Copies of this chain bind each other. A is one copy, B any other.
Amino acid sequence: MAPTSETLTAERILEATEEVLRRHGPAKATVVDVARALGVSHGSVYRHFRTKAALREAVTKRWLDRTSGQLSGIVAADRVPEDRLREWLAALFAAKRRKAGEDPELFATYTVLTDENGTAVSEHITDLETQLTRIIQAGVETGDFAATDPEASARAVFQATGRFHDPCYAREWEEPGTEADFAAVVDLLVQGLRRTP
């Protein structure tokens, strides 16, 4: 087996795809560009991803998973649930803001890709809501939170903080006052979750 095919992993293809998307934009990037960037035939790429659509979906999922991966550590951390909740929401906002701010072109590219890949996006949201559910469930167990349905509360918290993670608000994330707005929303939600003594 030739060295290129030995080392041609799905992960390497996805890295190259991201780079091609960054360079050519979502409308022009092709599987041939990806193969050329890797020095392999486009057939080799198709052995890992059967269609261009499948490749685009996988690269979208990888991009979204990077955020959920960063957050999962907070869910499992050894801190009181309220602190974990606040930290998790702040980390989600920070991650999205960093993605939008540090590489606006790639962010715009992924906005096109997420519009195309509704399934990857809803799996991502389910993943994030599941993480939030675990934190709220932990708060119910310690008696800090009063939620009767932690899953529904998690969904409500996720939706109520949309302004601070949904890409449709990306333009507003650098406006003055955003930090104070975020803090006020989080305080109100945490107050809503707390058990009345």
- Residue pair B193, A188 in contact (C-beta under 8 Å): yes
**Per-position contact with B for A139-164: 1 when CB-CB < 8 Å, else 0?**
00000000000001101110111110
Cα A190 to Cα B193 in complex, Å, equals 11
Q: Scoring A residues 184 to 196 as 1 if CB is less than 8 Å from chain B, else 0, what string do you get?
A: 1101111111001
A168 at the interface (CB under 8 A from B): yes
Least distance between A90 CB and chain B CB atoms (Å): 16
Determine chain A's interface SS by DSSP, over half rule.
helix
Size category of the A interface is 20 to 34
Please tell me if the beta carbons of A152 and B184 are within 8 angstroms of each other in the complex. Answer: yes
A179 to chain B, nearest CB (A): 13
> Is A174 in contact with chain B by the CB < 8 A criterion?
no
Q: Which of A55-83 contact B (CB under 8 A)?
A: none
- Selected from B161, B166, B197, the residue in CB contact (under 8 A) with A160 is B161
Chain B positions within 8 Å of A123 at CB level: none
Cross-chain contact B193 with A196 (CB below 8 angstroms): no
- Contact check, A184 vs B163: say whether CB atoms are below 8 A apart: no
Interface residues of A (CB under 8 A from B): 152-153, 155-157, 159-163, 166, 168-169, 180-181, 184-185, 187-193, 196-197
5 CB-based A-B contacts, threshold 8 Å: A156-B181, A156-B187, A191-B192, A192-B192, A192-B193
